[in-house]
Amino acid sequence: MSPKVWIDGKLFEKDQARISVYDHGLLYGDGVFEGLRVYHGKIFEVEKHLDRLFGSARAIRLTPPHGRDELKTAMQETLRASGLTDCYIRLVLTRGVGYLGLNPNRCSGGSTIIIADTIDMYPREMYEKGMSIITATVIRNHPNSCSPRIKSLNYLNNILAKIEAADANVPEAVMLNHEGNVAECSADNIFIVRDGQLQTPGTADGILEGVTRNAILNLAKKLGINAIEKTLQRFDLYVAEECFLTGTAAEVVPVTRIDGRPIGAGVPGPITGKLTEAFSRLVRAG
């Protein structure tokens, strides 16, 4: 078993995969992507990921060079070649090869990259005991600039927040929006529990609407947990009884300290535990 990379119809070994230095995805972050999880050989929520991918592409006026069925076939081909059954897929669409200038109309018409590899976001201990995070000084992109709802290749906004987290010796950072309200973390959506109610920011707060986030909201409904989308401020995080993050790569990870302040009892809470167990059953049920 070894990672494989599919580029515009051809498979490559990880160390042999190449793109042009004139690709606008590299030069300008001109493209979109999705991260997908594979459990027991099945791609989790593939249709929802493709919905978001094609929505992001449309938002930046990029015509995907391959259709949905072609992409699903290509991902399966890459998985078979890799021999991996529990892994991570990175699906990337770029504007393609262009020139040293911004004009997208001079690009080649698009390029598709599919990577099948393993991924480990956080140490196992953090899933069991919880993690500490901080609030970043870098705010989330304004929705009228490059909308956070577009999963674009330009992740500098997120990376700057991630650098602040690393400087503080923690794995993640909460990002506020232009109004000072909670948006999301650098790579994950955020949830809190207050008075038994599950709360998370909505799309109007400047978030990327996560596939795992939506799965958790659906699971909460099935479990009879009251869950709402709500504008949150740092105050709400500080007085929360529980907190956790969600993401395709991260799955569900509890947060027990924010900006040095303990959350609740300082240990993962019962609602976090119920949803973590339910999500684990969901993804492994096939």
What residues are annotated to the active site? 151
CA-CA-CA-CA torsion sign (205, 211, 216, 219): positive
Token pair for 107: 């690009």
Secondary structure (3-state) at 75: helix
Cβ contact 88:38 at 8 Å: yes
Cβ contact 261:133 at 8 Å: no
CA-CA-CA-CA torsion sign (98, 104, 107, 110): positive
Reported residue count of the chain is 286
Burial class (CB in 10 A: 0-12, 13-18, 19+), 15: exposed
Q: How far apart are CA 141 and CA 21, in angstroms?
A: 27
Token pair for 232: 């949150």
Secondary structure (3-state) at 277: helix
Residue carrying the six token digits 């459990």: 39
Amino acid at 195: D
167-194 burial, b if ≥16 CB within 10 A, otherwise e? ebebbbbbbbbeeebbbbbbbbbbbbbb
Q: What are phi and psi of 40, to 5 degrees?
A: 50, 40
Q: How far apart are the first and last CA of the chain?
A: 22
